[in-house]
Amino acid sequence: MSESVAVRGTVATSPRHVTPEAGSAITSFRLVTDDRAARPAGAQQPAGPGQDPRRGARRDPESNWFTVTAFGELAVSAAACVARGDPLVVTGRLRVRDWAGEQLGVTVEIEAEAIGHDLARGRSRFTRSTRALALTDAPGGRGDPTGSDP
């Protein structure tokens, strides 16, 4: 299964960045989505199913976990800008994979096409990458990145 998705969540693990000898850079991290991110600070989880009888604690039945993987320039930028706890919006191709080991399981992955900080939950400052600056200055490029070109 491979479909385009947009997911809003929180980075749950420190990004792991590798640059193989042959091939492009790769950055991956886990992203968790839940309705807690949308609730005001201090608000209680709505009543309903979700009581864990073994521990007597609430568990959030609405949480979803994704492995996000970025390649190339996006991987380099993600490694420099994304940290555990950051609120993000990720778009990309969804891949669902079954696996077997001691137990059967399912891994849900997003091959990222774009990653950005969720501005509804904070502020961010954008800095163009060196490659993007070179493209704007090149003949036939998009021109002045400040928008002052006629």
| In-domain check, residue 135 | no
**Residue 146 lies inside a defined structural domain of this protein:** no
Q: How far apart are CA 128 and CA 98, in angstroms?
A: 38
Residue 48, domain member (yes or no): no
Note whether residue 101 is domain-resident.
yes
pLDDT in tens, 3-28: 899 999 999 999 999 999 988 999 99
- Structural domain range at position 61: 2-38+56-122
Asked if the model's pLDDT at residue 41 lies above 60, the reply is no
Q: Which residues contact 70 (CB under 8 A, 6 or more apart)?
A: 26, 27, 28, 78, 112, 115
pTM: predicted TM-score of the whole model, two decimal places: 0.70
CATH number assigned to the domain comprising residue 12: 2.40.50.140
Q: Is residue 139 part of a domain?
A: no
Query: Across residues 28-45, what is the average pLDDT?
Result: 67
C-alpha closest to that of 112 among 145, 79, 63 = 79
**131 belongs to a structural domain:** no
Residue 50 maps to a domain:
no
pLDDT tens for 84-100 read: 999 999 999 999 999 89
Nearest to 108 by CA among 92, 87, 94: 94
Q: How far is CA 126 from CA 57, 81, 145, in A?
A: 40, 10, 12
As for how many domains the chain has, the answer is 1
CA-CA-CA-CA torsion sign (125, 130, 132, 135): positive
**Residue 82 domain-assigned?**
yes
